[in-house]
Structure 1
Amino acid sequence: MSDRYGQDRRGVLRTMVGATLGAGIAATAAAGPAAADPVTIPVPESAADGDRKRVEVAVLLYEGFTALDAVGPYEALCRVPGVRVTMVAAKAGLVRTDTGELGIAAAKSLRQMPRPDVLLIPGGGELGTTSSMSNTQVLDWIRRVHRHTIWTTSVCTGSLILGAAGLLRGVPATTYWASRPYLKEVGAIYTPGRFVEAGKIITAAGVSAGIDMGLHLAARLSNEQIGRAMELAVEYDPDPPFGTGNPDTADAETRALALKLIAGAAV
């Protein structure tokens, strides 16, 4: 099976990384290292206490994002007491996923969500990711809200968007398995794991790993009991039928086919 697709994909991403990283570093240099001081978690509102401020979670949508990257963490967090999850985008309204066949509505624009407590950036297809990496409106918003977040997080190739904003310089991070080499190009330190927590930045590996991170955040924003209960609430008890979900143990033919399928290429 030809690796032409993989070579083309690497070329496009490498070019995009080079074009955006310099701007991101320049924009964040004055703020110092991206890794944050130890995090202080506010006490969230309980189900019976409407006087305390809710923890606002903003999930950034952009054309070409991957549905599960956003919806997985949403399901893990949307029922946590005192937490409100809002889909946001450059403009409020319907945003299409990487397949083009599914749309999810962004309830608010970036301007309407200037200071979320938690930022979550899903990954996406190549076009969606690279477009966001060069979108100055999106990158500027990410840098602004990061100054005030409790947690700044990503799923899958969302970490490359964080990197393009200059927030992963010297920060341990993970991403989608086929995109690991690009973390170095945005200044991050690739670290294996379903999710990696470094200061107030948490990055998740590919797609379904966002559920793991979401459940971790559920506990961090409330307590371990809530996290355990949410894991049961969504019946998250993976038992995959093929055992090929780890790229380090899957064979080369399966990895190549997986990349074609995720890109929508003919097989």
Structure 2
Amino acid sequence: MHVAIPLYPRFTALDAVGPYTVLAFAPGFTVTFVAASPGPVPDDRGGSGLTATASLADFGAEPVSDRVVVDGRVVTAAGVSAGIDMALALLARVSDAETARAVQLAIEYAPEPPFDAGSANGAPADLRERALGLIA
């Protein structure tokens, strides 16, 4: 199976490295990093699902609030930890759940965030604005 991990302006390294790490443990996966054009990705500042969601419609995609979205052959995720969730779910689909669980254990992925502030859904407007100010 061939997996393409897109690189885009304001992506964070973990957006790409998290899913890559999961899939690197999976036999039969070829993982490629892709960008819209050759060369460095412009703007090396961090980005997240907060900034990407607004621009999805510009490319004809429908923004949704789900952490992991499966749409035919395309699987997407909304943020750093969701990228790891996506890769584990994809691995379970094409391999089996036991393999995905073994990889989750191998990378010691057991998220326990100290705050309930990991999604724009339900976050107060002032917190969303502050977060966007950090990554804009």
Q: Normalising TM by the smaller chain, what interval?
A: 0.7 to 0.9
For the pair 1:199 / 2:92, whether they are aligned, the reply is no
What residue identity is the alignment partner of 1:213?
M
- Residues 65 and 96 of structure 1 are in contact (CA less than 8 Å); yes or no, is this contact kept in structure 2? no
Which aligned pairs between 1:62-81 and structure 2 lie closer than 5 A? Answer: 64-81=10-27
TM-score by length of 2: 0.77
RMSD: 2.8
Tell me the distance in 1 between the aligned counterparts of 2:32 and 2:58. 31
TM-score by length of 1: 0.43
Over the matched positions of the two proteins, sequence identity in percent amounts to: 49
Tell me the distance in 1 between the aligned counterparts of 2:121 and 2:9. 30
Which aligned pairs between 1:1-267 and structure 2 lie closer than 5 A? Answer: 55-61=1-7, 64-89=10-35, 90-91=37-38, 98-99=44-45, 125=47, 176-177=49-50, 179-263=52-136
- Check 1:222–1:96 CA distance in 2 against 1; reply closer, same or farther (3 A cut): farther
What residue identity is the alignment partner of 1:56?
H
* Structure exhibiting the larger radius of gyration computed from Cα positions: 1
Q: Deviations over 1:14-64 (max 9, x none)?
A: xxxxxxxxxxxxxxxxxxxxxxxxxxxxxxxxxxxxxxxxx3333343564
- Residues 65 and 121 of structure 2 are in contact (CA less than 8 Å); yes or no, is this contact kept in structure 1? no
- Check 1:185–1:83 CA distance in 2 against 1; reply closer, same or farther (3 A cut): closer
SS of residue in 2 equivalent to 1:244: coil
Unaligned segments of structure 1, at least 5 residues: 1-54, 100-123, 126-155, 157-175
Tell me the distance in 2 between the aligned counterparts of 1:227 and 1:202. 16
SS of residue in 2 equivalent to 1:59: strand
- Check 1:202–1:88 CA distance in 2 against 1; reply closer, same or farther (3 A cut): closer
Q: Which has the higher contact order (CA 8 A, sep 6+)?
A: 2
- Number of equivalenced pairs: 135
- Residues 67 and 97 of structure 1 are in contact (CA less than 8 Å); yes or no, is this contact kept in structure 2? no
SS of residue in 1 equivalent to 2:80: coil
- Check 1:250–1:184 CA distance in 2 against 1; reply closer, same or farther (3 A cut): same
Tell me the distance in 2 between the aligned counterparts of 1:214 and 1:76. 6
What residue identity is the alignment partner of 2:22?
A
